[in-house]
Amino acid sequence: MGTTLTSLCGNLLTVHFVTDGSVQRRGFNATYMSVPLLCGGTLNATSSTQAIGSPSFPNAYPDYTSCRWVLDAPPQETIRLSVQTFALQPSQSCSSNYLEMKDWPVGDYGQSHRFCASDGHPVDFYSYGRTVLVHFKSDAYMTGNGLNLTFQVAGCSRNFEQEFGYLKSPGWPEVYPHDLDCIILLKAPQNSSISLFFNSFDVESHPSCQFDYLEIRNGSTADSPLIQRLCGSTIPDPVFPQSNHLYLRFKSDFSMARDGFEVTWTSSPHGCGGALYGDHGSFTSPNYPGTYPNGSHCEWSVTAPRGRLPTVTFAQIYIDDPGSCQNNYLKLYDGPDASSQPVGPYCGPETNIAPFTASSHQVFVVFHAQSASLPSGFRLTWSS
């Protein structure tokens, strides 16, 4: 009996047969057959919701499953991926049992996010461009019930019901289209407060922001109290609405267009801190650029995509403290929580702190302040 190869992914196979100039043998004889593709393929995204999933879903997927989907939207459109079911078995290194979603090609601004069983439920994925590559891979150790995803053309109006997220204007980092009217609703868990941080901002300027603007309201409707209407190229201050709802409206007219905006947001029951996810972003002390409240205690968990190492940069920091860094301080931990290796603490008028690069894809940040008698606060950024 000869050797039987396992099934291959895709519809192409190349066989390369090499001989030298010495010994001769009888050679080989092989047969092949085509079988229906268990999963994967190229699909066109439309405004209608479509679904993809692991083989045999909702039953367990086979050993050594490898599925690749290429999802393609019409020109100038982007794609939203939403994971409905995520039930994978643990893998020791997250290299053989994972779900990966990434812009294709990744390029300079594309995202590449890999999720394993230990990561919990993946957040919605919004592509930068029109094409997304989805890869699901499993090993033979144990199998789970698998996964099920839905996808569709994203559009510019969106509803986020989650603890944290990332926003960008349509077309980012290129100029946004004309005649946009996008409504974005952020809804964090009950009894929590949203914090919204601007990474970049460039919207057509006007003294009263009449033409192109980003409008932010404290609530969930167009009648909610107006926080501010933004335009121009100055990065706005963070928004701390002290509520779990934010209503954003981004509008552009028929003429001039700029690069748009990029925003990181999170939420926490304490009014500061929270989970932050992405390949880059920013966050600040509460009430920044004003002084933080007395008795502040904030904890942020920064998670970069698997395989990337976040580098935290101290863009600005002044923490009023007598000098011992015991009552008022900022401390980083090289890992997912406060049991990880500490870095710091930092306090006082620190002006020359070197950027910190983590040894894994996670950094935990703790800010504690009993009181402040001088103007104090900080702004941190991360990239990976």
Please say whether the beta carbons of 90 and 187 come within 8 A.
Answer: no
The pLDDT assigned to 263 comes to 94
CATH architecture for segment(s) 158-268: Sandwich (2.60)
What is the SS3 string spanning the chain?
Answer: CCCCCCCCCCCCCCCCCCCCCCCCCCCCCCCCCCCCCCCCEEEECCCCCEEEECCCCCCCCCCCCEEEEEEECCCCCCEEEEEEEEECCCCCCCCCCEEEEEECCCCCCCCEEEECHHHCCCCCEECCCCEEEEEEECCCCCCCCEEEEEEEECCCCEEEECCCEEEECCCCCCCCCCCCEEEEEEECCCCCEEEEEEEEEEECCCCCCCCCEEEEECCCCCCCCEEEEECECCCCCCECCCCCEEEEEEECCCCCCCCEEEEEEEEECCCCCEEEECCEEEEECCCCCCCCCCCEEEEEEEECCCCCCCEEEEEEEEECCCCCCCCEEEEEEECCCCCCEEEEEECECCCCCCCEECCCCEEEEEEEECCCCCCCEEEEEEEC
For the ranges 82-86, 103-107, 142-146, the lowest mean pLDDT is seen at 142-146
Domain boundaries, the chain: 41-154, 158-268, 273-383
Return the higher-pLDDT residue of 39 and 261: 261
Domains 41-154 and 273-383 share a fold: yes
The pLDDT assigned to 279 comes to 86
Spatial distance between the Cα atoms of 31 and 103, rounded to a whole number of angstroms: 37
The yes-or-no verdict on residue 291 having pLDDT over 90 is yes
pTM, whole model, 2 decimals? 0.76
Mean pLDDT of 100-112: 75
Q: Between β-strands 245-251 and 181-187, what pairing exists: parallel, antiparallel or unpaired?
A: antiparallel
Both tokens of 301, joined, read 């968990």
For the ranges 109-118, 246-255, 363-372, the lowest mean pLDDT is seen at 109-118
Q: Categorize the per-residue pLDDT at 97 as very low, low, confident or very high, splitting at 50, 70 and 90.
A: confident
The pLDDT assigned to 144 comes to 66
The pLDDT assigned to 112 comes to 80
Output the CA angle 131-135-136, nearest 5 degrees.
150
Output the CA angle 174-179-183, nearest 5 degrees.
85
CATH architecture for segment(s) 41-154: Sandwich (2.60)
Residue pLDDT, tens place only, 269-281: 988 999 998 889 9
Ramachandran sector of residue 191 (left: φ over 0; alpha: ψ -120 to 50; beta: rest):
left
Spatial distance between the Cα atoms of 275 and 292, rounded to a whole number of angstroms: 20
Nearest to 315 by CA among 201, 198, 173, 167: 198
Q: Categorize the per-residue pLDDT at 171 as very low, low, confident or very high, splitting at 50, 70 and 90.
A: confident
Nearest to 97 by CA among 367, 306, 256: 306
CATH architecture for segment(s) 273-383: Sandwich (2.60)
Spatial distance between the Cα atoms of 248 and 213, rounded to a whole number of angstroms: 10
